[in-house]
Amino acid sequence: MKKLLIIGFVWPEPNSTAAGFRMIQLVDLFKKNGFAVTFACAASKTKKSFDLRKLNIETIDILLNDSGFNSLVKEINPDVVLFDRFLTEEQFGWRIAESCPDAIRFLDTEDLHFLRHARQVAYQNNEIITSNHLKNDLAKREIASIYRCDLTLIISKYEMKLLKKTFKIDKSLLFYLPFLLNKINLETIHISPAFEDRQHFISIGNFKHEPNWNSVQYLKEIIWPLIHEKLPEAQLHVYGAYTTEKALQLQNKKEGFIIKGWAESAKEVFMNAKVCLAPLQFGAGLKGKLIDAMLYGTPSVTTKIGAEAMHDKLPWNGFIADNPNEFALKSVELYINKNLWKKSQKNGIKIINTCYSKEKYEQKLLNKIEYTQINCVELRLKNFTGSMLLHHTIQSTKYMSKWIEEKNKLE
């Protein structure tokens, strides 16, 4: 049985974040295909952390800057190591390279952190994003991590293109892997609540995630007043994990702006709502909330950033609008027009079935893993930039980590 070691920056929270949702998909993929999976993490568990033991996954608490990790991974002796984002690879990648040099090292970017950061900076400065924004210090770190790994999983075709065209990264180092979903039967439309049985708008997203928090503020200040003027009886229910006091202060029942907080069942929330609103102003990757909207038959209105790389030019399951007035008008139209709503619902099912085929992408990934293992020596020789970066990382990060470890012993 092959062994997979996943090193997580946090314990996965599939009901709180898209990153957690994706991680459980990856765990399920490897378990189903005969891998013994171990998940290691230095973060503390939360009440929302998924119990990986339900999937028969061994879990290990690890420490940062601790040489005991080296002994641990030698004992596990993994065939494949998966880092759940570049921050994890920075901390533990050199230890894996030293202790288990034959293990294939994979990076799952979740989304490109440097792209999300660049867009946020440009938005806050009211600037059009340029290559100057993109080529930031975070990009240097994240792209260095991509080079040090044997393969990097990229969730968005837009991000694949950006890495290949703008940053000239060889396509052999990158692998496109979107969310992995089962096909939806069109008959499920008749099972889910009908147009007449649904009411109100929803917005959903982890409040710790800056694009989501900004989106809620934008809804409150700009979008919702325009919708509320046209539909005074409708409400906007705002859901999200880690609801802050600042978020709670936005509630205004008179205006129909209701902060609901944590959703015990995202499926139930979506299936009872008529329209999902996601006016994202910056961000990256694929948006879990918009995937959920399609899965549960809830049309949505979002921005170009929100819909980016999510539908392969297929008609959206609702509308895409960046102008706030247009966004509000389309939201109202979708809310009151039954035929348009039903058509949008069907569009969402077609997007899921066309763009997120679990069968298609699972097999491609397994084939790529096998190819990488067989040709590992040759591929690493070809990736000289990665070897060079790994060499210098081991020299610098290794001794910094050892210094911190010794310092901690004295405290």
Quote the CA–CA distance of 287 and 401 in Å, as a whole number. 35
pLDDT along the chain (411 residues), means of 10: 96 93 96 97 95 94 93 97 96 95 96 97 96 95 97 98 97 97 84 93 95 98 98 97 95 97 94 98 97 96 98 97 98 98 96 95 95 96 94 69 68 63
Model pTM above 0.75: yes
Task: Check whether residue 311 and residue 363 sit in a common domain.
Answer: no
Task: Check whether residue 199 and residue 321 sit in a common domain.
Answer: yes
Task: Check whether residue 159 and residue 204 sit in a common domain.
Answer: no
Task: Check whether residue 114 and residue 79 sit in a common domain.
Answer: yes
Of 327, 355, 383, the residue that ends a domain is 355
Task: Check whether residue 210 and residue 286 sit in a common domain.
Answer: yes
Of 313, 337, 355, the residue that ends a domain is 355
Quote the CA–CA distance of 71 and 67 in Å, as a whole number. 7
Task: Check whether residue 66 and residue 162 sit in a common domain.
Answer: yes
What is the domain extent for residue 34? 3-181+358-410
What pLDDT was estimated at residue 400? Answer: 66
C-beta of residue 83 within 8 angstroms of C-beta of residue 108? yes
Task: Check whether residue 342 and residue 392 sit in a common domain.
Answer: no
Q: Compute the half-sphere exposure of residue 7: CA atoms within 13 Å on the CB side of its CA.
A: 28
Task: Check whether residue 70 and residue 25 sit in a common domain.
Answer: yes
Quote the CA–CA distance of 254 and 245 in Å, as a whole number. 19
Task: Check whether residue 214 and residue 126 sit in a common domain.
Answer: no
Q: Which of 79, 48, 75 is nearest to 62 (CA)?
A: 75
Task: Check whether residue 206 and residue 114 sit in a common domain.
Answer: no
What pLDDT was estimated at residue 282? Answer: 97
Task: Indicate the number of domains in the chain.
Answer: 2
Task: Check whether residue 85 and residue 146 sit in a common domain.
Answer: yes
Of 355, 375, 393, the residue that ends a domain is 355
Strand duo 151-154 + 174-176: pairing: parallel
Task: Check whether residue 312 and residue 364 sit in a common domain.
Answer: no
What pLDDT was estimated at residue 396? Answer: 66
Distances in Å between the Cα of 104 and the Cα atoms of 3, 141, 149, 247 are 11, 20, 8, 43
Tokens 């004295």 correspond to what residue? 410
Quote the CA–CA distance of 10 and 12 in Å, as a whole number. 6
CATH number at residue 281: 3.40.50.2000
And the tokens for 61? 């608490």
The strand pairing partners of 59, in sequence order, are 39
Tokens 């819909």 correspond to what residue? 307
